[in-house]
Amino acid sequence: MKLNLGERLITNNPLRAFIQRRVEGPILKRMAGFESYPLCLEIGCGRGIGAEIIVEQFGAQRVIATDVDSEQIERAKKNLRPELKDKIEFKVADAMALDEPDNKFDAVFSFGVIHHMEDWRKAAKEISRVLKSGGEFFFEEPLREFTSIFTKSSMLSMIATHPTGGMFSFDEFKGELKNNNVDIINIKHFGNIAIFGVGRKR
């Protein structure tokens, strides 16, 4: 789903970009099973910071970065540094129904995007479908105990909207990935609030 105004302000904020580059990217890189990932997909790319991180920190030669919001895609294209234009392609796409062939990517990345889906299980299925055998899925996601808070308050829902179809526990998330031939190989829990991890497709 598209972000509301509050979420756009958070996503497009320089502080969010700093955290992605200096915290989230390095945490996930330390969990990686391989030194580099030539062809990568990012779902929910927003203003494009994640795609840059994938090139700079994960050794990607080519990144297809997608978002369901065409305005965010245009923002990402506008902000893309010239030296990265041959490595990153931005395109409008729905992570629950990707227009990509099976077994294409060495890695797929979700920087806090799956919990925004109306049906996160569809996204998990699509991620597995487009991953090569042995490819890795990098994710950082808040869990239901956190996201459900925003549905209980009209004030909080103005800041962030989290559909019930995007809420999951760690066990549910792990189980659904396993059902789609993706086994979690590295995980870091932040209490019951959020998870950072990597899964590998069988």
Dihedral sign for Cα 120, 163, 193, 8, please. Answer: positive
Residue 15 CA to residue 9 CA, distance in Å, equals: 11
Q: Are 75 and 97 in contact (CB under 8 A)?
A: no
Q: Which domains does the chain have, with CATH numbers?
A: 5-22+37-201 (3.40.50.150)
H helix or E strand, kind and range, residue 190: strand 182-190
Residue 87 CA to residue 147 CA, distance in Å, equals: 34
Q: What is the pLDDT of residues 171-196, one digit of tens each?
A: 999 999 999 999 999 999 999 999 99
pLDDT at residue 41, as a whole number: 99
Flag whether the pTM goes above 0.75: yes
Q: Are 84 and 59 in contact (CB under 8 A)?
A: no
Q: What is the pLDDT of residues 19-42, one digit of tens each?
A: 999 999 999 999 999 999 999 999
